[in-house]
Amino acid sequence: MSGEQPKVLLVVGGGIAAYKSCELVRLIRKGGGDVTCVVTDGGQQFVTPMALAALSENPVHTTLWDLKNEAEMGHIQLSREADLVVVCPATADMMAKMAAGIADDLATTLILATDKPVMAVPAMNVRMWEHDATQRNVTWLKQAGVHVLDPDEGPMACGEFGYGRLPEPEVIWREIAGHLDIEVEELPPAAIGAPASAQVGEDEVVEDVVAEDDGVEEDDFVEAIEPEEEVEPKTGGFAGMLSSLISRTTPKRTADEIEAEYLEEPEEAENEVSETAEDDASKSETEGSNEETSADELDVDPDAVPDLGGPLLATKGGASSAPPTDPEAINHLVRTGAGDAAPEPLEGGEELPVAPAELESSDEDVLGGENFAVKKGHRPLEGRHVLITAGPTWESIDPVRYIANRSSGKQGFAIAAAAAALGAKVTLVAGPVALKTPVGVDRINVESAEDMSKAVKGALPADAAVMVAAVADWRPKEYRGEKMKKRGSAPPALALEENPDILTNVAVGDNRPELVIGFAAETEKVLDHAKTKRKRKAADWIIANDVSGDVMGGDTNRVHIVTEAGVESLEEMPKLEVAMALAERIAQSLSKVAADG
């Protein structure tokens, strides 16, 4: 670029992600660019022209029917003055108009009239993004020379999960800077996508601190509890309260510096010992040369032997070896004060039990070693595929710690066993539990929610899906490859992100089973929450239960079957009976669907 400020024309479309355009404007200005905003009618529902005008320090254009500007053909001038036109967010409607050459408002008119490069940043629902019409429009736009960024994957404002999220403003700014040949300071990967500032008080803004890259790898950098400089405590706001409680004096150090400090300590200790020994030796020599004089003067017997048998000193060779914990361990010698010797046997000659060569499996059988009592020939689920999830999920924080819940998986395993007993082909996707696989069940072991989501997707299609697993709602945003260490009294900052909604994805997916059943573990307003969940998750049934007691991990359960027709409440009974009752009702429902179809 030349010495002049690069000019960006930012078109803000009508989507919930429009709020990120404010941060994008700030980043463009901070990077040395000049930005002018055009906001569609839909965009104005999410972000105001006043906010964009304040951030850009330029007028914001909203209509094609501005008499003053259009007297000078303002839309033509806007499209020609910019070095780059950025459409962010680019909704499905906006991209369809761009691909078709429709110019029915200021934004689409100037996009059609521009002779400068155009960049589109899509943001929409995952189904809208994956639709053939949208993908066709994207292909046409790319063929026309428009640079279309790929959307991010993640949770949507509508509650679904997938591709369609607007990329973070920092990522968009880097793409813009690349087009304008602007150098951007490299940030650690963890910093991309993090908010640049957080609003704390009315006028107070706390900027995120990003470590400067001085040739130190990000993983080697250790952040101290306190930054380098001492900061005067602030008098107001939440940050002011924190700064008044925590002093800021310890400098940041790299991992190499910390390791070097620990390595120096033994060397210093050895040097001190050697120096002390040398001082003692020289002192002994000096005392030896004056020994006769000192003895004569003090009238001390030079041949006297001091008594070293006091309680502070142990008698050499008096200690005995510790008794062995296993008779098989007497196959070695123990070094004692009197020399090497065999370990002493236990008093009384009692022998400890010898551990078996192979440990028996400790997995619990939810059926107690028995089978469901089913009438001969009663196989209403024969020829049906039933997909079941069970157990908790573990969301790893580091190699040692993880986020989990109290689910035992017993109810899900019992339902799998009951469905198999009624003749179904059963696929059981199980979280980390110590339960035996029921007879006739195909088991897939998983650990995290993402693993379970992939396994469920791979097990489809199915006639019925029974989502019993207690899937963690959140997972750590960043996995630490090394165990997190304590840093004084300050707890570690644990950023979380949302896990995929497995039940919703199955219920609205292309391979939707005929019957989709979810479970709702509630502690209050059980039926109200279950009814709301059934509609929100697009499920056919929700099996609700109150887990405020000892249901999780216990052997009994009391459930309510919430359907579109109403609520059926079962009495409290063993989980095995609950499982068979649900399996019978699943068979009846599938038979009814088949008869109606």
Catalytic residues: 158
User: Dihedral of CA 336/342/345/351: which sign?
Assistant: positive
**Tokens 């710690």 found at:** 401
∠ Cα 48 152 212 (to 5°): 85
Distance CA 211, CA 234 (A): 23
Distance CA 336, CA 320 (A): 7
Closest of 588, 538, 540 to residue 561, by C-alpha: 540
- Compute CA 354 distance to the chain's CA centroid, rounded to the nearest angstrom: 45
The helix/strand/coil state of 475 is strand
**Contact predicate 452/446, CB 8 Å:** yes
The helix/strand/coil state of 175 is helix
Termini Cα distance of the chain: 66
**Contact predicate 404/444, CB 8 Å:** no
DSSP 323: P
> Cα separations (Å) of 378 from 387, 396, 464?
20, 44, 19
**Contact predicate 121/44, CB 8 Å:** no
The helix/strand/coil state of 309 is coil
Distance CA 98, CA 93 (A): 9
Distance CA 163, CA 175 (A): 19
User: Dihedral of CA 74/79/80/85: which sign?
Assistant: positive
Distance CA 74, CA 66 (A): 8
> Cα separations (Å) of 374 from 139, 178, 438, 583?
57, 69, 15, 12
**Contact predicate 476/395, CB 8 Å:** yes
**Tokens 């000192």 found at:** 294
Tokens of 287: 């005392």
Burial class (CB in 10 A: 0-12, 13-18, 19+), 556: middle
**Tokens 């997707």 found at:** 457
**Contact predicate 175/141, CB 8 Å:** no
Closest of 386, 394, 393, 391 to residue 417, by C-alpha: 386
Closest of 178, 196, 173, 198 to residue 10, by C-alpha: 173
Residue type, 133: A
